[in-house]
């Protein structure tokens, strides 16, 4: 970290905000006719994941490396993406098929040439056992079409419960789901033969429709219409061949033709499309069904089924593994594309006037025009904001603008900041605010004439008018007191338990390594306080040869015994004193026998030390506070775990910590907790400190030296600010109603007071629709963060996002963002754990998923057969994401989960970027044993594996990316080749996981892949777990597609449950 100097107005307008700190840009516009503006951007994407930027700005890339920008967004063209119906005999995205044998014609299973088959739809569906009468559920071409609604009685009996009614858990993998017959429900379909092939004619001829059908349409262009020009996000390398039963489309339109030419694509993928796979021939398998008693017959008489009952092949249902293609890097233009790439994918952002999705993501990228539309689609309106997120190498860095003492250009009515969505009028003398439409006069120093297109002539030199994210140097109106650099105070427990278990040595080693990594030019100061049943202060002034220690034993009324300034030292100016103190700490307390700890007194002393200027308190503790203010009783009762009374353990039990947290927040002090808890530590009570001061919790069941060093180093060296206020402004028709995250207090619903803020903090805002809008309206949202950098400079980070509005249901669903929606539900569920029982929260999430899919079925695909579960393409992974959330540590039932672990999982979401949160919901499982270890070969990431025990290979080696954890699972039968390449051992079967250390060769493909997986995960260190050890339980919890604890279904069972509920709602309506 380096201080950010002030430069003259003639400095370059392209200034980084990462290390080293940039100069400021500003001043009057340059003379017209000068040199062209420099090209923005960075180097081309690397072969693997990109780490956060840590060095100087990269060299610029030529303008030809960027995709063409699309004209300004208006109303999205209405589109009716008809869902693809997955049925036996139809192709399934993401599942490949072996090529035909030599000599066989390239025909499908139904005898239709691939070239003559219809194109895929934008929707996705899974074949779920329907409620049709026995026989072929699909109509034969040329025959009247039966009315599905008339033949779909509501399934009898209650649906599978999400509560306590499911069978007990089993350690064995669940068998494929076979719906059990009910005597009060219509029998499931008895499929005896494959459906008749779909007759497809050439694209120039009119399509053949089956009897009784009206001309339908999918919303795709007519074959004689010109090719579309709007770029699309995912374009498959080749159009897959789809063969199956006739499909239903929205009434009143034409049957979609076979596309003649793919539309131009903005991205240049390096491999096949992650969303469309190869051709498949059969979706499910079949098995005989036992005899079932029938209504009206004696108990000893049964009627045999006429045909076998279908089973679902788990490999044929949607899988998020298609998102994890790390062998290519996409490019995303913020205005050239309708919706951003999946958060967990590899992509580079080109800022075209909308802020990067790394900074702000919306749940919908086509906003409903009325509140009735919002209620109809059942989709949440949210903004997920990470205001200080890191940019990647190859992306344009955030520009800093300095107006040289002049006022920052803002709207006089709503106080929004100038941005690229504002429109200049009257020859450049006025501008219309993008938030409230108020006409503002342009100050004389900011005036610039307009060119013939209506744009300012100095546009290339004005980052605030060209990019969606910009940072302003704050003027005097935003400064209430002189800003100073950020101070850090370490508060370390030195009790008997901390020494005997080796925690003190681990804490000291992590602090020493972190101080060595601090920027040599930093102005920040560091201090140390220790505590057991008393509080110890240390004079580490640079004028002393050895540090001096002072002890305050009156923990009920703690005070600072010496001058506050001598408690801190700069790691560059007084490194010898700090190092000497850290070296002596373990030996100083080696004979300490104090078991009591006074954590509350130590926090009070740290608050008194920092209250004048603010700063950060980093607490290292391993035992429950038992003395002085804030002492806690062990309230853990294992009998309440897994019951409705468990929620009591997630609320704080002591008023001291909320009170001291408010004091710290008012003094602009952030508190971080590093807790190593071999036993119950009541994290729910202690976590009030970081939650209300915008801090962070780090929790370890046992000490992990490498992870502790990484976490502390990341905490101190990342971009950090304090004394911050964040405000979200919405344009006409929208307003903020709620927010989730770590913050001090709400000034209003749209304004948060933040004691500290850093590059990992994420906030979620929920919006409401206030009034009717026109489809031509462009809604605008702006997030402004006023904060003081760790170097002592006052800045304003501004993100602006402009989105179109639409009254078309299909358009709204088509550009819905799965990551924002799923992470909103997860954060809302975490907040509900303090007041609701876990079964109620799980039921709420599952019902929300059902309502969304039912709305899509009703509004966009009502004419489809009831035998198929229709999933919109943008939300095809929503069921598995919801099931994964129900199986996460936040909501998973069972007394085996410690309350502290559940509380930590809830708090960790506040510091997870959308990418990490996506991997927390559905982890990435990479089979590293499929890599080639031959030197000189290109390292290629193996395809990710579905999270099911049936797909885990004996002797395998798997990398697990799960949120802020990175694990390496080794089988006991790992081959000697990989054992030697990984650990330099002939075998790992007899070596415990705690003794295994990675020892990779620099030129090995395995080293390159593992290193890049670490870079993708923010350089997290690997934690090694082995088959058969206690840590292997974690690996079992990752396999979320299998049947979980007694109350949680498998993925296939959950899809069946969702389908039954949707059919019930359809029948009721």
Is residue 571 within 8 Å of 582, Cβ to Cβ? no
Distance from C-alpha of 886 to C-alpha of 878, rounded to nearest angstrom: 12
State both tokens at 602. Answer: 């130590």
Is residue 1043 within 8 Å of 174, Cβ to Cβ? yes
State how beta strands 382-385 and 763-769 pair.
antiparallel
- According to DSSP, the residues that pair with 803 across neighbouring strands are 779
Distance from C-alpha of 2 to C-alpha of 5, rounded to nearest angstrom: 9
Give the three-class secondary structure for 621. Answer: strand
Residue 761: count other Cβ atoms within 10 Å of its Cβ. Answer: 27
Give the three-class secondary structure for 469. Answer: strand
What are the Cα distances from residue 323, in Å, to 250, 329, 430, 586, 1053? 29, 12, 46, 48, 23
Distance from C-alpha of 438 to C-alpha of 487, rounded to nearest angstrom: 42
State both tokens at 306. Answer: 């006429």
State how beta strands 216-217 and 250-251 pair.
antiparallel
Is residue 128 within 8 Å of 867, Cβ to Cβ? yes
171: Cβ–Cβ under 8 A, 6 or more apart, which residues?
A: none
Whether the upstream peptide bond of residue 451 has omega within 30° of 0, thus cis, is no
- Kindly report the CA angle at 360 between 356 and 361, in degrees rounded to 5? 100
Nearest to 803 by CA among 832, 833, 773: 773
State both tokens at 378. Answer: 């059942």
Nearest to 860 by CA among 811, 810, 815, 818: 810
- Concatenating the DSSP letter of every residue in 96-144 gives --PPPPTT--S--TTS--GGGSPPPPSBEEEE----PPSS--SPPTTSP
300: Cβ–Cβ under 8 A, 6 or more apart, which residues?
A: none
* Largest distance between two CA atoms of the chain: 99
pLDDT value at position 352? Answer: 94
Distance from C-alpha of 883 to C-alpha of 572, rounded to nearest angstrom: 51
State both tokens at 279. Answer: 């051709």
Distance from C-alpha of 108 to C-alpha of 19, rounded to nearest angstrom: 57
Distance from C-alpha of 456 to C-alpha of 423, rounded to nearest angstrom: 10
Q: How far is CA 950 from the centre of its chain?
A: 27
Is residue 646 within 8 Å of 836, Cβ to Cβ? no
Distance from C-alpha of 947 to C-alpha of 923, rounded to nearest angstrom: 8
- According to DSSP, the residues that pair with 782 across neighbouring strands are 729, 800
Phi, psi angles (nearest 5°) of residue 966: -135, 115
Q: What is the DSSP letter of 83?
A: B
996: Cβ–Cβ under 8 A, 6 or more apart, which residues?
A: 970, 983, 985, 988, 1024, 1026
pLDDT value at position 1003? Answer: 52
Phi, psi angles (nearest 5°) of residue 846: -65, -40
What are the Cα distances from residue 275, in Å, to 260, 633, 795, 872? 20, 53, 41, 12
Distance from C-alpha of 216 to C-alpha of 593, rounded to nearest angstrom: 82
Is residue 1040 within 8 Å of 174, Cβ to Cβ? no
Residue 546: count other Cβ atoms within 10 Å of its Cβ. Answer: 12
What are the Cα distances from residue 325, in Å, to 49, 321, 332, 337, 1046? 10, 8, 16, 20, 34
- Concatenating the DSSP letter of every residue in 227-267 gives PP-S-BS---SSPPP--SS----EETSPPPPPPSSPPPBS-
pLDDT along the chain (1069 residues), means of 10: 37 38 44 41 40 45 37 42 38 40 38 40 41 36 38 39 39 38 35 29 28 31 37 32 32 34 31 31 30 37 45 79 85 90 93 96 96 95 96 92 91 95 94 95 95 92 95 91 92 94 94 91 92 94 85 94 91 84 92 92 96 95 93 89 85 91 94 92 94 94 90 95 95 93 80 94 95 93 96 95 95 96 96 91 96 94 80 95 94 86 94 94 92 71 90 90 91 87 86 83 73 84 84 78 80 93 90
Distance from C-alpha of 271 to C-alpha of 328, rounded to nearest angstrom: 7
Is residue 473 within 8 Å of 673, Cβ to Cβ? no
Distance from C-alpha of 979 to C-alpha of 970, rounded to nearest angstrom: 9
pLDDT value at position 295? Answer: 37
pLDDT value at position 1043? Answer: 87
Q: What is the DSSP letter of 1045?
A: S
173: Cβ–Cβ under 8 A, 6 or more apart, which residues?
A: 948, 949, 950, 1042, 1043
pTM exceeds cut of 0.85 = no
- Map tokens 């703690």 to a residue: 558
Is residue 547 within 8 Å of 577, Cβ to Cβ? yes
Nearest to 349 by CA among 48, 42, 51, 59: 42
472: Cβ–Cβ under 8 A, 6 or more apart, which residues?
A: 400, 401, 402, 403, 408, 417, 464, 795, 796, 798
pLDDT value at position 261? Answer: 36
pLDDT value at position 10? Answer: 34
Distance from C-alpha of 202 to C-alpha of 479, rounded to nearest angstrom: 70
Distance from C-alpha of 327 to C-alpha of 325, rounded to nearest angstrom: 6
Helix (H) or strand (E) holding 286, with range, is strand 285-287
- According to DSSP, the residues that pair with 367 across neighbouring strands are 805
Is residue 777 within 8 Å of 806, Cβ to Cβ? no
Nearest to 281 by CA among 96, 82, 84, 94: 96
Helix (H) or strand (E) holding 385, with range, is strand 382-385
Strand segments (E) across 845-884? 868-871
- Kindly report the CA angle at 484 between 478 and 485, in degrees rounded to 5? 125
1005: Cβ–Cβ under 8 A, 6 or more apart, which residues?
A: 931, 932, 933, 934, 935, 937, 938, 939
Torsional sign, CA 382, 387, 390, 394? positive
Is residue 579 within 8 Å of 538, Cβ to Cβ? no
Is residue 400 within 8 Å of 22, Cβ to Cβ? yes
Phi, psi angles (nearest 5°) of residue 453: -85, 0
State both tokens at 334. Answer: 């913020």
- CA-derived radius of gyration, the chain: 31
Distance from C-alpha of 22 to C-alpha of 6, rounded to nearest angstrom: 9
């Amino acid at each position: 970290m380096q201080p950010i100097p002030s430069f003259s107005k003639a400095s370059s307008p392209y200034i980084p905000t990462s290390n080293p700190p940039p100069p400021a840009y500003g001043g009057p516009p340059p003379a017209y006719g000068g040199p062209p503006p420099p090209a923005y951007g960075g180097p081309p994407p690397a072969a693997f994941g990109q780490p956060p930027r840590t060095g100087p700005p990269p060299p610029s890339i030529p303008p030809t490396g960027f995709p063409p920008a699309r004209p300004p967004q208006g109303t999205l063209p209405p589109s009716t993406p008809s869902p693809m119906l997955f049925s036996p005999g139809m192709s399934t995205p993401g599942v490949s098929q072996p090529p035909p044998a030599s000599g066989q014609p390239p025909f499908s299973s139904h005898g239709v040439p691939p070239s003559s088959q219809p194109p895929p739809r934008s929707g996705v569906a899974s074949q779920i056992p329907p409620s049709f009468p026995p026989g072929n559920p699909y109509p034969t071409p040329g025959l009247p079409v039966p009315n599905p609604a008339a033949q779909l009685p509501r399934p009898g009996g209650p649906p599978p419960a999400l509560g306590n009614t499911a069978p007990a858990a089993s350690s064995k993998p669940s068998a494929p789901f076979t719906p059990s017959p009910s005597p009060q429900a219509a029998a499931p379909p008895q499929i005896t033969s494959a459906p008749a092939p779909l007759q497809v004619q050439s694209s120039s001829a009119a399509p053949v429709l089956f009897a009784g059908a009206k001309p339908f349409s999918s919303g795709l262009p007519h074959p004689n219409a010109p090719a579309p020009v709007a770029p699309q996000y995912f374009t498959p390398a080749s159009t897959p061949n789809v063969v199956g039963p006739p499909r239903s489309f929205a009434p009143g339109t034409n049957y979609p033709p076979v596309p003649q030419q793919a539309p131009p694509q903005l991205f240049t993928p390096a491999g096949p499309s992650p969303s469309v796979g190869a051709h498949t021939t059969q979706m499910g398998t079949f098995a005989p069904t036992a005899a079932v008693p029938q209504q009206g017959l004696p108990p000893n008489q049964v009627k045999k089924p006429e045909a076998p009952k279908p089973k679902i092949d788990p490999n044929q249902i949607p899988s998020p593994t298609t998102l994890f293609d790390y062998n290519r890097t996409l490019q995303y233009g913020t205005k050239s594309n309708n919706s951003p790439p999946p958060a967990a994918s590899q992509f580079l952002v080109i800022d075209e006037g909308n802020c990067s999705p790394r900074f702000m993501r919306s749940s919908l990228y086509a906003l409903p025009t009325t509140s009735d539309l919002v209620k109809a689609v059942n989709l949440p309106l949210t903004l997920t904001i990470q205001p200080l997120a890191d940019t990647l190498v190859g992306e344009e860095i955030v520009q800093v603008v300095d107006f040289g003492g002049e006022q920052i250009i803002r709207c006089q009515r709503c106080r929004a900041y100038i941005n690229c969505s504002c429109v200049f009028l009257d020859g450049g003398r006025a501008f219309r605010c993008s938030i409230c439409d108020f006409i503002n006069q342009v100050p004389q120093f900011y005036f610039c004439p307009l060119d013939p297109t209506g744009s300012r002539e100095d546009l290339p030199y004005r980052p605030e008018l060209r990019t969606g994210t910009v940072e302003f140097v704050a003027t005097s109106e935003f400064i209430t007191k002189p800003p100073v650099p950020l101070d850090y105070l370490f508060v370390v427990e030195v009790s008997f338990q901390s020494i005997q278990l080796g925690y003190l040595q681990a804490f000291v080693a992590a602090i020493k390594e972190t101080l060595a990594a601090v920027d040599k030019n930093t102005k920040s100061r560091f201090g140390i306080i220790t505590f057991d049943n008393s509080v110890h202060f240390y004079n580490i002034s640079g004028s002393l040869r050895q540090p001096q220690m002072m002890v305050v034993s009156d923990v009920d009324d703690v005070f600072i015994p010496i001058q506050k300034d001598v408690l801190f030292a700069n790691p560059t100016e007084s490194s010898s004193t700090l190092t000497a103190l850290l070296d002596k700490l373990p030996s100083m307390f080696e004979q300490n026998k104090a078991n009591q700890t006074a954590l509350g007194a130590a926090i009070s002393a740290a608050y008194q030390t920092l209250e004048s200027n603010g700063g950060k308190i980093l607490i290292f503790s391993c035992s429950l506070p038992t003395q002085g203010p804030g002492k806690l009783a062990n309230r853990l009762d294992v009998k309440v775990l897994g019951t409705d009374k468990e929620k009591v353990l997630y609320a704080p039990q002591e008023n001291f910590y909320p009170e001291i947290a408010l004091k710290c927040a008012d003094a602009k002090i952030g508190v971080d907790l590093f807790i190593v808890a071999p036993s119950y530590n009541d994290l729910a009570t202690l976590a009030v400190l970081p939650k209300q001061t915008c801090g962070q919790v780090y929790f370890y069941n046992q000490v992990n030296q490498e992870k502790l060093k990484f976490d502390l180093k990341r905490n101190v060296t990342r971009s950090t600010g304090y004394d911050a206020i964040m405000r979200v402004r919405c344009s006409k028709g929208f307003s903020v109603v709620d927010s989730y995250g770590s913050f001090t207090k709400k000034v209003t619903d749209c304004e948060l007071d933040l004691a500290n803020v850093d590059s990992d903090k994420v906030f979620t805002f929920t919006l409401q629709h206030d009034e009717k809008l026109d489809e031509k309206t462009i809604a605008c949202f702006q997030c402004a963060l006023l904060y003081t950098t760790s170097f002592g400079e006052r800045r304003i980070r501004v993100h602006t996002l402009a989105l179109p509005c639409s009254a078309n249901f299909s358009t709204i669903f088509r550009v819905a963002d799965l990551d924002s929606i799923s992470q909103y539900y997860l954060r809302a569920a975490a907040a509900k754990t303090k007041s609701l029982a876990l079964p109620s929260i799980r039921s709420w999430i599952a019902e929300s998923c059902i309502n969304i899919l039912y709305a899509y079925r009703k509004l966009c695909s009502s004419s489809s057969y009831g035998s198929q579960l229709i999933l919109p393409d943008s939300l095809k992974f929503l069921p598995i994401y919801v099931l994964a959330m129900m199986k996460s540590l936040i909501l998973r039932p069972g007394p085996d989960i410690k309350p502290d672990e559940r509380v930590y999982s809830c708090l960790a979401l506040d510091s997870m970027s959308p990418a990490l949160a996506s991997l927390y919901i559905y982890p990435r499982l990479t089979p590293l044993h499929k890599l080639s270890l031959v030197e000189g070969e290109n390292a290629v990431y193996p395809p990710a594996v579905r999270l099911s025990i049936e797909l885990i290979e004996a002797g395998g080696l798997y990398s697990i990316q799960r949120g802020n954890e990175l694990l390496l699972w080794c089988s006991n039968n790992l081959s000697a080749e990989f054992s030697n390449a990984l650990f330099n051992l002939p075998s790992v079967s007899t070596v415990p996981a705690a003794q295994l250390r990675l020892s990779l060769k620099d030129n090995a493909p395995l080293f390159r892949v593992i290193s890049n997986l670490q870079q993708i995960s923010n350089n997290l260190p690997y934690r090694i777990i082995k088959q058969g050890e206690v840590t292997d339980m974690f690996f079992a919890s990752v396999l979320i597609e299998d049947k979980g604890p007694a109350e949680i279904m498998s993925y296939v069972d959950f899809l069946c449950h969702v389908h039954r509920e949707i059919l019930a709602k359809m029948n009721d309506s």
